[in-house]
Chains A and B, each alone.
Chain A
Amino acid sequence: MAEVLTQRTPAAVHQPEGNFLTENPGLLNWMFTVDHKRIGLMYFWTIMTMFFVGGVLALALRTELLTPKTTIVSAEVYNQLFTLHGVIMTFLVLVPVIPATLGNFVLPMMLGAKDVAFPRLNLLSYYLYVFGALLAVGAIIGGGLDTGWTFYTPYSSTISGGVSIMTMGAFVLGFSSILTGVNFIATIHKLRAPGLSWYNMPLFVWGMYATAVIQVLATPVIGITMVLLLMERLFQVGIFDASLGGDPVLFQHFFWFYSHPVVYIMILPGMACISEVIPTFSHKPIFGYKAVAWSSVGIAVVSFFVWGHHMFVSGQSEFAGAIFSFLTFVVAIPSGVKVWNWLATMYRGSISLGAPMLYAIAFLLLFGIGGLTGLFLATVAVDVHLHDTYFIVAHFHYVMMGGTLIAFFAGLHYWWPKMYGRMYNEFWAAIGCLLVFLGFNGTFIPQFIVGSRGMPRRYYNYLDQFQFLHVASTIGSYVLGIGLVIMAATLIVPLFRKRYDAPNNPWGAASLEWTVSSPPPTHNFHHVPVVTHGPYDFKAARRLEQMESHS
């Protein structure tokens, strides 16, 4: 069944038309735009700026750890640096990176819509992000905050400087995240094109939907926690501080009640990107569509009930420990199943190794390690040994960077031609991917070893016996840094070279965003598209394209 998706007049095909990048130029038009694509790009550059800062901080941290004692900075500065690195990377990069950039850009187009359901709210959430980011980073730098990104009480409620403002920043950022979530839920429910049933939606949309549900339900908790922390600091209301009659461990419960689901706010969008890239580059429908779609929703629901696995050694009851351990294994299963689905999609496919696919393969290898090392930490007795060591540091970097960020890079290389209408050099993209992959493993494999040998995290000085592994890790981080610079250059250079112009559908994908020009026109579609085939029915999509090019 091959039907016309977008009915363009022949004249419109041949006439060079304006696109969202070139129509309505000027700074003010960008700053006050309600176009989801422009907001997506504004988010993209802002978040990448934060990622650059966070990355430079990481390199500074690794450089300090070259020697067991002082290398380049003092203990105070080191503690502030890892706090800043953690806050920037989790709250300002990982949480928004995929939904706010790729999600904003492609989600409405995937649904055949002109924009998100609430375009002005979308712009508001961008400015809340910018304002929250300024507050948070300003507070840490200005106040010399050194609590780590987890702000555990009573340490955070007793030290002076910056905590209150930082708290406000986290509060504002939370609203930015909630508004994006509300917007996506409404958009997915109400703005689907005719024929786009739930099971015809690309899996990217399913992933965004599950993410949005967590954003809306979990984020208020961190907001409330931050308000309580603020009340304690300003009005001496005893909530977390033992000396005021509060309970310091209560903070950890509140914190992880948000911050564990937030891990899934980060990883579900990553899985969503991979679920687009692998079928497209295998030129074969995704294996087990419904299993992949519903496992996202399942992960989202169970993610609310596993926070206590961060607290096996905090003094919580043994019974609670048993329950949280069990539920953590339960949430591991759907994540593992997705890996089988992606592999089975490649089986008997026709696999082309474009840059997005290379990053997707890197994702499978890295996220595999991240997921499997998670089993050590779900097992209570083993976690007790590994808790708060470098093993944890390595594990969550494998999940967060090896998972979310590598998946983001896969998605970025996948949709980059759509965003800017330019192709990039595949050779250099592959070199970038290879260096990122090798550098990443070089950085974090030594940390698994150093951690299982008992070296705690957040240590400025360390015992001499760990130096060799730390030096190896630092060298790995430099390779990783070089890989990221090559990746960025590979993507940016073609923006200034017209001969790299991208076709509408460079990868032969089947979802709606590839039926419009690259970059897309301001209003996405000239007519409301009618969907007649599934998001991974590449044969039908190809027949449609051929029909259109003949007409």
Chain B
Amino acid sequence: MMPVTQASDYAREVDSIYMFITYFGIFFYSIIIIALGYFIHKYRRRRKNEDTPDITHNTALEVIWTVIPSIPLVVMAFWGFNTYMQARVAPADSLEIKVIAKKWAWEFTYPNGMSFGQEMHVPAGRPVKLVMISQDVIHDFFLPDFRIKADIVPSRYTQLWFQADEPGEHQVYCAEYCGRDHSNMLAKVVVDTEEQYQQWLEQKAEEAMNMPLPELGKLLYVNKGCNTCHSIDGTRIQGPSFKGIWGQTHQFSNAQPAVVDENYIRESLLQPTAKVRAGYEAIMPSFQGLLREREIQALAEYVKSLK
């Protein structure tokens, strides 16, 4: 048995094929082991120059042992492909969530146009369709409990869909190697009941609109994945720390020195490579079109608050 939660009908179907192949494998592997063990024991060499019969071939036997095992293989091929097609075509009434993958964080955008961090909330019993794109290298959305996976490629949308049986929490991995923090590019799918999901969505949206700016900035710092590269305690990760930088004059490898203020933060978010901090690499992705005005202000306020 595959010792992984089966969170959908599709997962159960995939596991049925998995078990079919397992039984096929056990059957034929047993034949190999038994034949091997029996022959080694029964036909072991007893004396020097022992004679053996001149058996060279047996066409009928060879045809049989080629054709018979091939039949279950045909079953595997068709069953596997038919099931796979179910995972490719999302029902028309699916809830659509946009997924953006970047080194090394996820962003899930809901139909209301908002995104709330590394946990994807979905309602149980409703098909969910993911429309996914990468901002840099190839990533891969892997949801083992649902037996689904798809690469996320830059400049091209890829899709997945799933439908959860019941509320619960499921691990998401990035399954395509994407550099240093590949193994930290994790997320969760949280399955709620339909009402819980709606409540959660409304509550989050309200929180985001009414939240004081520094608090919203703090939330965005985590939700948008800033924290994977920028610390707030002065330690160096990929990028410079945010601690105490407000009002300082920074040196750049490709521009004149500048003071850290609202305009600098704004530019760093929208055109990150315009001014690259001396001693750091130009690896930050642009957030152009991904942040509202209020959110940019919030992030600037948050940086200002980090003394």
Contacts and interface: CB of A to CB of B under 8 A. Distances in A.
A and B form one complex: yes
Interface of A: 75-76, 79, 146-148, 152, 154-155, 158-159, 242-243, 248-249, 282-285, 287-291, 312-315, 318, 321-322, 325-326, 329, 332-333, 336-337, 339-341, 343-344, 346-353, 361, 364-365, 368-369, 372-373, 375-376, 378-385, 387-389, 449, 452-463, 538-539, 542
B176 interface: yes
A321 B183 contact: no
A368 B53 CA distance: 27
A460 B182 contact: yes
Interface of B: 2-4, 13-14, 17-18, 21, 24-25, 28-29, 32-33, 35-36, 39-40, 43-46, 49-58, 61-62, 65-66, 69-70, 73-74, 76-77, 79-81, 83-85, 87-88, 136-138, 140, 142, 144-145, 147-151, 153-156, 158, 171, 173-184
A316 to B, nearest CB: 10
Contacts of B175: 387-389, 456
Contact of A351 (B39, B66, B76): B39
Given A158-B136, A369-B29, A375 B142 contact: no
Nearest to A68: B183
Contacts of B43: 282, 346-351
B84 A384 contact: yes
Given A315-B150, A384-B147, A282 B57 contact: no
A158 B137 contact: yes
Contacts of B66: 333, 337
A351 B43 CA distance: 6
Contacts of B158: 315
Given A376-B21, A454-B4, A352 B53 contact: no
Contact of B150 (A313, A325, A373): A313
Contact of A382 (B17, B29, B62, B176): B17
B257 to A, nearest CB: 25
B76 A321 contact: no
A373 B25 contact: yes
Contacts of B50: 283, 350
A508 to B, nearest CB: 8
A147 B182 CA distance: 11
A79 B14 CA distance: 32
A178 B14 CA distance: 42
Given A313-B151, A343-B36, A462-B183, A290 B17 contact: no
Question: Which of B40, B44, B76, B177 has the largest number of chain A CB atoms within 10 A?
Answer: B177
A313 B140 contact: yes
Contacts of A148: 177
12 contacts: A79-B179, A284-B55, A285-B55, A291-B62, A340-B65, A353-B40, A380-B83, A380-B84, A381-B81, A382-B21, A453-B2, A542-B49
A369 B29 CA distance: 8
B144 A155 contact: no
Contact of A372 (B28, B35, B56): B28
A108 to B, nearest CB: 27
A79 B183 CA distance: 11
A294 to B, nearest CB: 11
Contacts of A314: 151, 153
A421 B73 CA distance: 47
B76 A375 contact: yes
A381 B179 contact: no
B40 A325 contact: no
B77 A329 contact: yes
B80 A79 contact: no
A13 B174 CA distance: 67
Contact of B77 (A75, A288, A326, A340): A326
A314 B150 CA distance: 7
A360 to B, nearest CB: 10
B62 A453 contact: no
Given A343-B36, A350-B52, A372-B29, A325 B77 contact: yes
Contacts of A385: 14, 18, 144, 147-149
Given A343-B32, A348-B43, A152 B55 contact: no
A353 B39 contact: no
Given A333-B73, A453-B4, 13 more contacts: A152-B137, A291-B62, A313-B140, A315-B151, A321-B81, A322-B81, A343-B35, A350-B50, A361-B40, A379-B77, A381-B14, A384-B149, A387-B175
A212 to B, nearest CB: 26
A344 B83 CA distance: 37
Nearest to B170: A454
B180 A75 contact: yes
A353 B43 CA distance: 11
B180 to A, nearest CB: 5
A454 B142 contact: yes
Contact of A242 (B2, B81, B155): B155
Nearest to B150: A313
Contacts of A282: 43, 52
